[in-house]
Structure 1
Amino acid sequence: MPPQGRRRRIDSERLFDDVRDWIERFVNVMNPDDLHIITLWILHTHLVTELKSTPRLMIGSIAPESGKTTLLDHMNRLCHNPVQAASMTPAVLPRILQHSMATVLLDEVDRALKPDKEGVNDLIAILNSGYRVGGARILMVKGEGGAFIPMKLPTFAPVAMAGNRPHLPDDTRSRSIHIVMMPGGEDVEESDWDDIEDEAKELHDRIAEWAETVRDQVPNTSRVELPPECKNRLKEKWKALKRVAVLGGERWGATADKLIKHAIAEYKAERESGINRPPIGVMLMMDLHAVWPEEKNFMSSERLANRLLAHNPEYWARDTERENTRDLNAQRLGKLIHEAAKVNSVRGVRNGPRGFRKKDLNPIWMRLGLPLR
């Protein structure tokens, strides 16, 4: 035992490796890098108050009985103050978090978060708001004399969700890191808790003790270096895990960079294939930039609409979100540009057709990282 008042030194890199090796013993993942993600996610739950943000972990599989629940069982032993459940109500989750931070582990979310299920929209709103510190929900509670009064309850907490292809809204998906489970092979051990419970408890206690030794160092990681293209929602998802990774030493910091770069490449590939399209306003500005002739300072709405249809017919020749299935036309284009950028159409010449000026769109393109026209 170390002298009273002094904490014993813990080998962070070895601890990280031990957590990864523990998970690998009992589950099978499609991509070995997912084991690193799981490790960092488990560790970050013990420091989430200092990190002030937390990515949702979405655990999917290519087939039933691939170990999703098994993984949650192990996370239930290793994460900070876990709450494991197959369902959760919008009223219960904030109540759980009212008194102390907890790690929420939701199983069978393909059923629990079905869009047509009562209360799901409210629960999704809580999950979306709780990815960073300050997230809250207002509930009406009974006060003195039986009158109902509003009470602000926190929603900030780490959340892992397991399920077979759940239909989650884009906002929830974009805040989630996805891993994919595989059916276990011969080298995957059975999770016999009668035999391994004490060993798991020992590993949990080592994680908790490590977290106490590094807690004061977490603020120093707030400016941790990220790959250049890790911005916006990607940064929101990955920064917390990178901050934890650097506490595990240089090798784990480099591992986190590898994970982030892979996520960036995957994000780009999904966008190019149309799997993960940007919001309609961003898509519109990107396509307008692509079709705008460099030599033109003004383009009529009709010509722009025709160019967009020729450039990206799969997107603009059908309904994208709110309107019916008619092709893009000048009137609809004007409405979409106004909604996306608060830019109104003008006449290039007196009594000429209405359209848009390049100088009005250049600031938006610049903020999106697109070169000036």
Structure 2
Amino acid sequence: MTDPTPPVTTTIEDGAALLDEIERHHRRFNIFPSEHAYVAVTLWDAHTHLMDCFETTPRLAFLSPEPESGKTRALEIVQTLTPNPLVTNDISASALFRSISGSDDGLPTILWDEVDTVFGPKAAGNEDLRGLINSGYRRTGGVTRSVREGDNHKVVKFPVYAALALAGLGDLPDTIMGRSVVIRMRRRAPNEEAESFRQRIHEPEGHVLRDRLAAWADTIREKVEGAWPEMPEGVTDRPADVWEPLLAVADAAGGHWPKRARAACVHLVKTARADDSGSLGIRLLTDLRTIFDGAERMLSSTLVEQLNGLDDAPWADLDGRAFTTRALSQMLGGYVTAAGKPIRPRNIKTGPRVVLKGYYAEDLTDAWLRYCPPVPQESATAATAATAATAQVRTLFPVAGEVAVAATDPAPATETATDLTTVG
């Protein structure tokens, strides 16, 4: 007798083709700034279905300098593709904590719009929220709370690991930016067209893709868990942690995705480094390296004058006033020389009986090496030539280094008695 029940056939999802469809879904409604952005966001969507496989979860940050740049729409499309979305634009630290640690439906995907109202320049510090976001980046992270049990209390560490996408104006705190894949959104140009998103119509279409992503994720879970994807050259430390889950997903999908993922990784990491001027101290070190430009030593007064004269720099209006030699000394004092001593101004002889305060390049070299971005090749060549020229001057005129600071910083003819005792 023939069995009337037809055999069950299982169709194995083509991961690369599925990711292509996810990308097309984004392209219908989102105008991202580059091809690399589409790749990164698509991989981020997929990684939210595999959270238990990774040690870290990169934050996805849609940021722009102006409103109406498509950030909210980006979150709306991400919402249709990710598991257990929690949409908010105003949440307290305790509510966020309970939403993650107390969820019975699996880890939420937190989609946080208008985050600039929380971390922007006019907002308070919100250190509790920032700490939660940073702790939730790593699977082993958590927050510690005192919990009452009867008449006693005990200390309990609660997990707060969860995927998080944010959208806002300006930038985020450095500690969050360093854990994020940053997409710099722009207003749509007249020649850029996107389909209008209608929730009742298009959300179910996104949910079909979401369910297919979830099913595919189950088939690659063993392959992805514990994977060590090969990183592009130069991507190490925190950027490698950020991109590891996304590259693991791309490798599991195959096709053109591993290559596209690594190209996106290199581009977005490089862009983030270019955008990141680091702390104010790193900006100071970098600007000083540019000003020295191969000189051996320069006066504090000259350095400050040139710092205040930089157009694209904060020094001329730092906290409402110009930068001073004392401020220069205080900021550099937090860094050390190659010998491990704090960087301090030293005496520089500029004439037979004139000694002023200034800095030697040899004292700054170690800090430049450790903290500043690499010197562009053309700048490095120019600096080498400048150093060679200075050496020639000192060979021909041994006293030139004493009379003119590094041959590039002649002492003003009208130095006052106050300048002789300058400490910064």
TM range (shorter): 0.7 to 0.9
Q: 2:158 aligns to what?
A: 153
Indicate conservation of the 8 Å contact 2:343/2:364, yes or no.
no
TM-score (normalizing by structure 1): 0.76
RMSD (Å), alpha carbons: 4.0
For the pair 1:88 / 2:68, whether they are aligned, the reply is no
Give CA-to-partner distance per residue, 1:125-183, whole Å, 9 cap, x none: 322333233332233443323x55543223332211234x2663343344331252656
For the pair 1:245 / 2:247, whether they are aligned, the reply is no
Q: 1:262 aligns to what?
A: 267
Larger Rg: 2
2:187 and 2:356 map into 1 onto residues whose CA distance is 58
Q: Residue 110 of structure 2 aligns to which amino acid in structure 1?
A: V
Structure 1 position 94, deviation (Å): 2.0
Query: In the TM superposition, what are the counterparts of 1:66-215 in structure 2 within 5 Å?
Result: 68-98=71-101, 100-111=106-117, 120-145=126-151, 149-163=154-168, 165=169, 168-176=172-180, 177-180=182-185, 188-193=195-200, 195-196=201-202, 198-215=204-221
Q: 1:35 aligns to what?
A: 38
Structure 1 position 16, deviation (Å): 0.6
Gaps of 5+ in 1: 271-275
Q: Residue 155 of structure 1 aligns to which amino acid in structure 2?
A: V
Gaps of 5+ in 2: 1-6, 350-354, 388-424
Q: 2:344 aligns to what?
A: 345
Indicate conservation of the 8 Å contact 2:63/2:171, yes or no.
no
Give CA-to-partner distance per residue, 1:336-362, whole Å, 9 cap, x none: 222134624376799x76666655544
Indicate conservation of the 8 Å contact 1:80/1:103, yes or no.
yes
Q: 1:310 aligns to what?
A: 306
2:344 and 2:119 map into 1 onto residues whose CA distance is 42
1:216 and 1:127 map into 2 onto residues whose CA distance is 28
1:92 and 1:294 map into 2 onto residues whose CA distance is 54
Give CA-to-partner distance per residue, 1:48-92, whole Å, 9 cap, x none: 332222222223568766654444344333213322223221012
Q: Residue 216 of structure 1 aligns to which amino acid in structure 2?
A: E
SS at match of 1:59: strand
Indicate conservation of the 8 Å contact 1:89/1:119, yes or no.
no
Indicate conservation of the 8 Å contact 1:83/1:105, yes or no.
yes
1:64 and 1:16 map into 2 onto residues whose CA distance is 29
SS at match of 2:83: coil
Indicate conservation of the 8 Å contact 2:32/2:185, yes or no.
yes
TM-score (normalizing by structure 2): 0.68
Give CA-to-partner distance per residue, 1:316-336, whole Å, 9 cap, x none: 743547xx724331x433322
Indicate conservation of the 8 Å contact 1:91/1:139, yes or no.
no
Indicate conservation of the 8 Å contact 1:104/1:157, yes or no.
yes
Residue identity (%): 27
Structure 1 position 282, deviation (Å): 1.9
SS at match of 1:224: coil
**Count of aligned pairs:** 354
Indicate conservation of the 8 Å contact 1:291/1:308, yes or no.
no
Indicate conservation of the 8 Å contact 1:45/1:79, yes or no.
yes
* Closer, same or farther: CA 180–136 of 1 in aligned 2, 3 Å: same
2:368 and 2:224 map into 1 onto residues whose CA distance is 36
Structure 1 position 42, deviation (Å): 0.5
